[in-house]
């Protein structure tokens, strides 16, 4: 297959590109800067510009680009950057794929496009599947618009998959770096009540799931989360065991809310007991179905 990838320099993209190349696929990396290699090609998502020829003969696009969601107060300007980077980029890719499909009706194409598990509301202990509707938080509304931006491709007959990804655990992942440091210093503990569910997935399974979805017939939203979600208290306890550190210091929820505002309330103090129903139904097998193994792999020193 000939596959174009956006966000190839990010955590997932850096692992995905060589994985696809190892399988013999031809990979084009779409970048916003000046290209530095033959397989790199420039696009300008902020201006909704891309050379139509770039996607004319591709079989698939894996679209992972977007402004990183950081643990910081969300100013109005930052919210707009988060939204625009996702909607503009996805619209650009989707419309270009739709045009390519119109010119070449014989080629079966697929768009695998990023989204987030924050699409859903916090439903407490209730399991969340792809059939559940969206929440009303800022991140939920962002995900709704992000996924809606793939409509031009879907309407043109392109198979579209929306990756509702959970917390990715892998070497170099921001969550792993931050929590690893805090816990190694003996300062770790549950956050807030600790009863909120943290839907997670190992970096290995994230990448292998994308590869699997490229070759399957699955379409629509897919939860990219491990089959065994855990509460924050369970996550904390397991991380402490892996690092052989105590976890005595709970972090008050009100303090995080004051410091980080809606980011804390939605992504840290809130939770979703999301399960990967469609992924499992399609025959995917997880390398790291349980948190202990995923954390050990993520924290291994390479």
DSSP character for 56? T
* Residue linked to tokens 């080629």: 107
| Among the ranges given (70-74, 136-140, 234-238, 273-277), the one the predictor scored with the smallest mean pLDDT | 70-74
- Within 8 A by CB and 6+ apart from 273, the residues are 123, 124, 125, 126, 127, 128, 197, 199, 229
* Alpha carbon distance 189, 252 (integer Å): 10
Structural contact between residues 33 and 46, judged by C-beta atoms closer than 8 angstroms: no
What pLDDT, on the 0 to 100 scale, is given for residue 238? 92
Best CA proximity match to 112, nearest among 72, 73, 63, 146: 63
**Does 282 have pLDDT greater than 70?**
yes
**pLDDT in the model for residue 176:** 81
CA distance 115 to 127: 19
Give the burial class of 123: count Cβ atoms within 10 A of its Cβ; 0-12 exposed, 13-18 middle, 19 or more buried.
middle
pLDDT at 259: 47
What tens digit of pLDDT does each residue of 193-218 get? 889 899 999 999 999 999 999 999 99
Please state, in angstroms and rounded to a whole number, the distance separating the CA atoms of residues 239 and 237: 6
User: How many CB atoms neighbour CB 136 within 10 A?
Assistant: 8
d(CA 165, CA 153): 21
User: Whole-angstrom Cα distance, residue 76 to residue 9?
Assistant: 27
Domain boundaries, the chain: 2-299
Q: Is-contact 174 159, C-beta < 8 A?
A: no
Query: What number is the average pLDDT over the span 280-294?
Result: 97
DSSP-derived secondary structure letter, 244: T
Distance CA(47)–CA(118), nearest Å, equals 27
Domain 2-299 architecture: 3-Layer(aba) Sandwich (3.40)
Per-residue tokens: 27:
């990979």
């Amino acid at each position: 297959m000939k596959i174009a990838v956006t966000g190839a320099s990010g955590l997932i993209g850096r692992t995905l590109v060589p994985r696809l190349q190892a399988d013999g696929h031809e990979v084009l990396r779409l970048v916003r800067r000046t290209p530095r290699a033959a397989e790199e090609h420039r696009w300008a998502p902020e201006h909704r510009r891309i050379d139509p020829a770039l996607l004319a003969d591709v079989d698939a696009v894996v679209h992972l680009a977007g402004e990183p969601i950081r643990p910081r107060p969300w100013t109005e300007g930052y919210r707009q950057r988060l939204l625009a980077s996702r909607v503009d980029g996805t619209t650009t890719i989707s419309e270009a794929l739709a045009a390519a499909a119109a010119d070449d009706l014989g080629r079966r194409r697929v768009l695998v496009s990023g989204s987030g598990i924050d699409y859903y509301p916090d439903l407490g202990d209730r399991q969340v599947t792809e059939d559940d509707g969206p929440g009303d938080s800022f991140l939920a509304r962002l995900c709704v618009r992000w996924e809606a931006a793939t409509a031009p491709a879907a309407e043109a007959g392109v198979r579209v998959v929306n990756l509702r990804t959970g917390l990715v655990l892998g070497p170099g992942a921001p969550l792993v770096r931050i929590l690893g440091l805090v816990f190694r210093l003996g300062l770790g503990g549950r956050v807030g009540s600790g009863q909120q569910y943290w839907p997670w997935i190992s970096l290995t399974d994230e990448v292998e799931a994308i590869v699997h979805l490229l070759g399957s017939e699955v379409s629509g939203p897919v939860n990219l989360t491990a089959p065994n979600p855990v509460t924050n208290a369970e996550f904390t306890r397991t991380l402490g065991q892996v690092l052989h550190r105590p976890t005595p210091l709970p972090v008050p929820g009100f303090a995080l809310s004051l410091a980080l505002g809606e980011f804390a309330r939605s992504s840290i103090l809130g939770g979703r007991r999301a399960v990967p129903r469609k992924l499992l139904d399609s025959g995917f097998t997880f390398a790291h179905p349980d948190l202990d193994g995923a954390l050990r792999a993520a924290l291994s020193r390479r």
